[in-house]
Amino acid sequence: MPATPSHPGTSRTRSWWGWGYADAHPDNAECAAMGALLPGTLARPLPIPRVADLAIARPGATPPPALAHLITADPATRAAHAMGKAYRDVIRALRGRPGRIPDLVAHPTTHQEVADLLDWAGGHGVAVIPFGGGSSVVGGVEYRGDAHRAVLSLDLTSMNRVLEIDATSRSARIQAGALGPVLEEQLRPHGLTLRHFPQSFEFSTLGGWLATRAGGHYATVHTHIDDFVQSLHVVTPAGASTSWRLPASGAGPSPDRLFLGSEGALGIITEAWMRLQERPRYKASTSVTFADFHQALDAVRAIAQSDLAPANCRLLDPGEALLSGASHDGSAVLVLGFESATAPVDDRLTSALDLARAHGGRSGAPTADRDTPADTAVRAWRSAFLRMPYLRDGLARMGAVVETFETAATWDTLPALIDAVRTQVGAAALKATGHHQLPSDPRLPRRRRPLLHRGRRRLPRRRSRNLGRHQSRRGRRPAPPPRHHHPPPRRRPRPPPRLRPPTPGALRAGTARRQGRPGPPPHPQPGSPGRLTGPQRLPTAVHARARSVVAWARNSSSARVW
Ligand SMILES: Cc1cc2nc3c(=O)[nH]c(=O)nc-3n(C[C@H](O)[C@H](O)[C@H](O)COP(=O)(O)OP(=O)(O)OC[C@H]3O[C@@H](n4cnc5c(N)ncnc54)[C@H](O)[C@@H]3O)c2cc1C
């Protein structure tokens, strides 16, 4: 049974191990075709993992009769609640090692039921983990301790209604388990929208957004969910907490801020009053190409620091632009979009284009959007963006490392940070896998470049492969003759290459050169931008144990302005 039923409002089944709907995953042929575009991937995809193959222990606790109707011990449901949806989770599932599987899964429908479940669990040594859409990428829905006799995953998705709308104040009381589309569908008849669009929108919930302080896309001004909160209702093991519903308050620390971003550690958010917006009536978008990525960064800064407030201001570096089909000639692409419920946005778009052109950007005439963007590059990026999580899982089945990671930096440190990320991810990829080929690599054969924007049928048939040692040994198929640009299969792993990332001083010097400034002092300063330390230290996209895979760091250098 590869999937678990549970998507409110549809009959489609969710994948228990990967992203989204089970029927939307790339099939074996598509995975193989994608794999052929990258060096060092497997000859054929790893099989889709089956719940039946997992060693699922009997539940370590029995729910009391009064709560039994809310709780299930169904193996597929339990497996689907064991992990989030980071790349590492997908790999663990593909290896049949999802970690601790919850003993029970509960689907409460009221505050009281949540409180009753917490009471019972607290008295019986049962750990409770709140679960919204399960799209966590930081292990937030996993149990990692050993002090409890059982684990209960508390799935909020049955609490998914918009309970009340205050049209005058333009806000709504919404249950925390509402998935993005479910919530928006209920606001639509009122001409209102929460307008919070994380990439995981379709499969994540209001409660999850609040508990993780999610950031939305198409949201350069109102980026974080925190900005929309008026009040929260939270059920904690010590009782319920409801904050006073106020548009703003300067009286002491905000109680809501305590729960926002708490990852469910302090209690279960069951509902929230959220500030809404009118649905936009006027929309316009366009793309701008830049031959020089750092000039593009300057253009983005100029737009962000103006009062134009674009809804979308996203810079794709040449690699991401290539992959999404937004450009084919190695240029960086800036995707710009403006929206308003009350006034046409063409003037704002024109002013933003003027700023972009003043920094070397090239663009056609801006176009008004109806339902979908009129600009081809914007459309290509958007469809790649929505499809990406499914393709990530397909590439994971082919042994590729594909992960997104985020960081934040002030404008003055950004160029050096980007250079450092590129260099260090490349070095780490080479060290861990023996391959270093980012999608923007000019050495990448042309036919391998455009990937994400291709539709199902347009993916090429697999024409070549580069088998790793482990595949040949398993006897799946004989190793092919070595290709000149790939390392041949070998008996022993190659010793790590002697490749060092540039020193912080060199990075700062490079940045200074580009900006026409004199170079920095020769010795690194503490906390200097070229050095990834402290909060700027990046989680690596490359798993040290990965062998014979190509490391591919998507988004390593795309900039999003909030
Ligand atoms: C492909 C992909 C794209 C993503 N894009 C974005 C993005 O654009 N922006 C972004 O910010 N994040 C993004 N994420 C991360 C993730 O989607 C967000 O963190 C999201 O807010 C999680 O919501 P969820 O409902 O899935 O929560 P879950 O994953 O179920 O839970 C997340 C955490 O919140 C806790 N929790 C869940 N519900 C409640 C509740 N009601 N009360 C208390 N605690 C609760 C859980 O215990 C867990 O610690 C992405 C993830 C993936 C896999």
What tens digit of pLDDT does each residue of 551-560 get? 222 222 333 3
Is the pLDDT at 454 greater than 50? The verdict is: no
Cβ of 208 below 6 Å from ligand 1 = yes
Query: Higher pLDDT residue, 521 or 195?
Result: 195
Helices assigned H by DSSP within 359-413:
376-397
Mean pLDDT confidence for 275-279: 96
Is the pLDDT at 357 greater than 70? The verdict is: yes
Tokens coding 383 = 């469809």
How far is the C-alpha of 419 from the C-alpha of 136, rounded, in Å?
28
Please count the other Cβ atoms lying within 10 Å of the Cβ belonging to residue 269. Answer: 30
546: buried, middle or exposed (CB in 10 Å: 19+, 13-18, 0-12)?
middle
- Topology classification of domain 49-155: 3.30.43
Cβ of 108 below 6 Å from ligand 1 = no
Looking at residue 64, its pLDDT comes to: 96
Architecture of domain 282-384: 2-Layer Sandwich (3.30)
Residues above pLDDT 70, as percent of the chain: 74
Burial annotation 65-104 (CB, 10 A radius, 16+ → b, else e): eebeebbbbebbbbbbbbbbbbbebbbbbbeeebebbbbb
CA of 198 to the centre of ligand 1 (A): 9
How far is the C-alpha of 559 from the C-alpha of 562, rounded, in Å?
10
Domain extents in the chain: 49-155, 162-278, 282-384
Stated pTM of the model: 0.80
- Give, using CA atoms, the residue closest to atom 21 of ligand 1: 209
CA of 493 to the centre of ligand 1 (A): 38
Query: Higher pLDDT residue, 59 or 365?
Result: 59
Cβ of 215 below 6 Å from ligand 1 = yes
Please count the other Cβ atoms lying within 10 Å of the Cβ belonging to residue 538. Answer: 17
Query: Higher pLDDT residue, 488 or 223?
Result: 223
CA of 214 to the centre of ligand 1 (A): 7
pLDDT tens across 170-193, in order?
A: 999 999 999 999 999 999 999 999
Domain 162-278 has CATH 1.10.10.10: no
pLDDT tens across 320-348, in order?
A: 898 888 998 999 999 999 999 999 999 99
How far is the C-alpha of 162 from the C-alpha of 194, rounded, in Å?
11
